[in-house]
Structure 1
């Protein structure tokens, strides 16, 4: 049986080296054992809007190509966990309130272009970049003050439809279409 590739809509970022440095420093400062983690490689750092159905790919690519949005700066200012800090399975870096609002406005522009397609996209997007997943037992982590040592500004100026192929080394992403903001 051939695996169907995962297809999703994402916003690309530039400060991948800096985010990887934060990822590594977070692991070290929390004293985490790397063999219990599944790290996201810097080439795969992005913001995800949601997965899409492969059967609608051509229509979605057309709709995304019509998206008109303004580029904007973002500020990373928090480390968080899903489902929460006391039962952490996914560790992520997120945005300050001002740029979270700008991100969600851009997300609404993207999603409104897809509104007539009956796509199931999360109602509330929590803009984040996954840093790593915890493989076994969920951890209770104190993440609240970690970002106080950092000021990291980035830019969102592209939206992509990406395809993910699973390999033994992890996912490999390919852009199907990329739309540049103004």
Structure 2
């Protein structure tokens, strides 16, 4: 039985990536130890599955397809910047999603189906796009100031027209993502 590392995601529109790259460049000026997400990989994770059996992939795809069949395409606003767990203890730097009720509804319905299939329920879901991970506390105050500077930044709007089931292959150079199946809304 083979396994793959997989997750379900909404990819960021290419025309918004230069605006996020400007924010990343500002964080790079802090000279902090941050591992940045490659622009090509920017996405909003709806569910991280971890290692899953490829034999059960059809069941998973059917469940996703059934739930997403209830949804039409919709618009979201990419806005704001913050950190997990918080601005004083920075592990993850993210940009946010404004007006995210449709995404939350989508996540909750998907998660209910995934639990029915025997997968773990998400403890807490937060709509965000990870842009970097802090590797040490070096220059934390500069990073905190940059987060605060961009806390209300307006990045732009995008239409969500599809959701992708992705395979993630970890490499020393960073993860490589491959679409296994794309679900049109």
Q: Which residue of 2 aligns with 1:74?
A: 76
Unaligned runs of 5+ in 1: none
Shift of 1:17: 4.7
**Structure 1 equivalent of residue 178 of structure 2:** 174
Moved more, 141-150 or 102-111: 141-150
Q: Which residue in the other structure is 2:85 paired with?
A: 83
Q: Is the 8 A contact 1:161 1:177 kept in 2?
A: yes
Is the Cα contact below 8 Å between 1:23 and 1:131 reproduced in 2? no
Contact residue 77 and residue 95 of structure 1 kept, 8 A: yes
Q: CA RMSD in A?
A: 2.4
Output one character per residue of 1:13-36: Cα deviation in whole Å (capped at 9) or x when no partner.
31x4533433443442673226x1
In the alignment, what sits opposite 2:62? Answer: 62
In structure 2, relative to structure 1, the CA distance for the partners of 1:163 and 1:37 (3 Å cut) is same
Equivalent pairs, count: 175
How many angstroms apart in 2 are the aligned matches of 1:17 and 1:147? 21
For 2:153 and 2:125, how far apart are their aligned partners in 1? 26
Q: Does residue 1:45 correspond to 2:22, yes or no?
A: no
Q: Bigger shift: 118-127 or 78-87?
A: 118-127
Greater CA drift, 129-138 or 21-30: 21-30
- Unmatched 5+ residue regions in structure 2? none
Q: TM-score normalized by structure 1?
A: 0.83
Summarize the alignment of residues 14-33 of structure 1 with structure 2, pairs less than 5 Å apart: 14=13, 16-28=14-26, 31-33=29-31
Change in Cα spacing, 1:58 to 1:147, as seen in structure 2 (3 Å) is: same
C-alpha distance in structure 2 between counterparts of 1:129 and 1:105, whole Å: 18
* Cα deviation code 1:21-76 (max 9, x no counterpart): 33443442673226x12110111111112222512333212222323111110011
Does the CA contact (< 8 Å) of 1:76 and 1:153 recur in 2? Answer: yes
3-state SS in 2 of match to 1:119: coil
The 3-state SS of whatever aligns with 1:170 is coil
C-alpha distance in structure 2 between counterparts of 1:167 and 1:151, whole Å: 30
* 1:103 and 2:107 matched: no
